[in-house]
Amino acid sequence: MDYSTTAAEALKGPARIAAYVKSLPDAPGVYRMLDTKGAVLYVGKAKSLKKRVAAYAKSGGHTDRIARMVAETAEMLFVTTASEVEALLLESNLIKRLKPRYNVSYRDDKSFPNILLRQDHEFPQLLKHRGAKSTKGIYFGPFASAGAVSRTLNTLQRAFLLRSCSDSVFASRTRPCLLHQIKRCSAPCTARIDKDSYAELVREAELFLTGKSRAVQALLAKDMTEASEALDFERAARYRDRIRAMSHIQLHQGINPATFAEADLFAAFGEGGETCIQVFFFRAGQNWGNRPYFPKHDRELSLEEVLESFVGQFYDEREAPKLILLSHAIPNRELLAEALSVREDYKVEIAVPQRGEKRDILQMALQNAREQLARRMAENSAQRELLEGVAELFGLEAPPRRIEVYDNSHIQGTNALGAMIVSGPNGFEKGEYRKFNIRSTELTPGDDYAMMREVLTRRFSRLIKENEADEAKAKWPNLVLIDGGPGQLAVACQVFADLGVEDVMVVGISKGPERDAGREHFYLPSREPFRLDPKSPVLYFLQRLRDEAHRFAIGSHRKRRSKALGANPLDEIGGVGSSRKRALLQHFGSAKAVSAASLVDLEAVSGVSSALAKKIYDFFHANG
């Protein structure tokens, strides 16, 4: 049930909060504290909404953080829940979605990659998978990164020779591919291995990925010995290579625990008001990688509070393992374990090891977190110095908090797009990158000025609308860099003048006559072009920004061009599925030949009825 109020906004702070207390139930729930503009300041849970809100209504006894939060509160929203467990789950969901200023903010929504062993084909495929687990098969993971999955997959191919190709490639092969030649696939596509033998490879791979690696290696060692004794040295060498591949995986996994098979481990280290949380994944008795996180939080929060909020948000949309190991005892450990157990429908244990192997691994993870935080703080310090140099160079009042860099990409005007990258005190903010497909039909192909005009107009028109709704203050740039010379700068200045943008510094950056790095010219409104000392750290920093924008623009353009090249007009014809498309292409050789075929020729294709042949013919000859 929702509780809210429509009282005058002029009343803020403890008195405003006290107005809610009488109407609140003595029941569990979640509350939101809002400022005068409706922005969410804080989300919290309570065993008793009435008692928790009453505590905020007191005029004194708060920490500085709580006092600031209370003073800014102009409105509150409440949701009652059936239990405190349900309140905890809802709180984590709302914090992750709303990202309130006074909560710990967990800002990584990427799903972790898995390895998928498919079960919907007679010759199962081993592949990397990310996202919803909708394909029938066995999923192994999570892995900490796509790189960790790719390395493991490459080695698994050598160890178990399972196919990685798609079903369409598998069906169309007439001879083994390169992977078979380099001993990474058993080539079931061309019957180089029978179904039963391939099934045995699948079984061995499954055993290995579920933690029974020693049993698989012992079995292969036995087969290698038997082959050697039979003087079949070629077969013995194949077994040897597979055993080495499995050992290679284990070697690169580092610590493989003996006292537990499956767990997630969280090690938190804080210093100078910043926190690093290292997350390690252990599955099937193997270390499947780790990843550092740097949650945003108020400096007054304790390490235990930061860790508790982080873990709750981490599992908001992810499956929790049966064991979670923490470096610090969090305030609501039992409640969080109960909440995760209810959601997963199996018992989830949250432990803080005090001795033994688990404690040793946690100490290693803590050292990892300490070193990672030290590196980040050193990088941030250097970044701050560079931003101060940029501010001095371009006459900004303060180091820029947000820099946006724009570039265009096209080939003779085709597949044209604009790209924007973002950088700030914490380096490149890749989640803020944007690409703009050029929409204008009146634009002359290759007109870079018109492309830049469209991109900037679309970007800042939208930003102005969002800013009017008080949603985009943090996303308003202090500095805009344009990849180009005085022409591009003039376009940008005209766009800003038309839109009434006055508080953004815009700078053009272009390479010298020979396009040599280090000879860049900088262009500012009402200022003569200038160059920097080739050894200047600020010049190197600006080059990196420009090069990153160029890389992103070129990469986005290539993806768009590849997609266009891979498009097939047959895909647009209703009734032409993958099997009929394959039959048509095999019969005629290309989509172009299909488009030129007569109705009689189309009807001669296996699986194509007279009605479908007429439909295909009409599709290509509608304007003839």
pLDDT tens string 510-519: 876 555 556 7
pLDDT value for 247: 66
Decide which of 354 and 564 is more confident: 354
pLDDT value for 5: 44
pLDDT value for 518: 60
For residue 7, name the pLDDT band (cuts at 50, 70, 90).
Answer: very low
pLDDT tens string 27-63: 999 999 999 888 899 999 999 999 999 999 987 788 8
3-state SS track over 188-203: HHHCCCCHHHHHHHHH
User: What's the rounded Cα separation, in Å, for the pair 36 and 73?
Assistant: 7
Instruction: Let me know if the fold of 263-374 is the same as that of 403-564.
Output: yes
Pick the CATH number of 403-564 from 3.30.420.340, 3.40.50.410, 3.40.50.800, 3.30.70.1520: 3.30.420.340
For residue 245, name the pLDDT band (cuts at 50, 70, 90).
Answer: low
- pLDDT at residue 101 greater than cutoff 50: yes
- pLDDT at residue 565 greater than cutoff 70: no
The closest alpha carbon to 538, from 409, 418, 403, belongs to 403
Assigned CATH for 569-621 = 1.10.150.20
pLDDT value for 423: 92
pLDDT value for 41: 94
How much is the average pLDDT of 467-484? 75
* Global confidence as pTM: 0.65
Q: What is the largest CA-CA distance in the chain?
A: 92
For residue 501, name the pLDDT band (cuts at 50, 70, 90).
Answer: confident
| Contact by Cβ (8 Å): 73, 41 | yes
User: What's the rounded Cα separation, in Å, for the pair 155 and 176?
Assistant: 19
pLDDT value for 471: 47
How much is the average pLDDT of 556-566? 63
> Alpha carbon 133 to chain centroid distance?
17
| Contact by Cβ (8 Å): 162, 124 | yes
Q: Mean pLDDT across the chain, nearest whole number?
A: 84
User: What's the rounded Cα separation, in Å, for the pair 219 and 450?
Assistant: 67
% the chain with pLDDT above 90: 33
CA-only gyration radius of the chain, Å: 30
> In the CATH scheme, what architecture does the domain 263-374 have?
2-Layer Sandwich (3.30)
pLDDT value for 374: 85
pLDDT tens string 133-178: 888 888 887 887 777 788 778 777 887 888 988 888 888 888 888 8
- pLDDT at residue 617 greater than cutoff 50: yes
pLDDT tens string 287-314: 888 889 999 888 888 999 999 999 999 9
N-to-C CA span, the chain: 64
- pLDDT at residue 416 greater than cutoff 80: no
How much is the average pLDDT of 96-105? 88
For residue 6, name the pLDDT band (cuts at 50, 70, 90).
Answer: very low
- pLDDT at residue 624 greater than cutoff 50: no
CATH 3.40.1440.10 fits 2-98, yes or no: yes
The domain spans of the chain are: 2-98, 114-252, 263-374, 403-564, 569-621
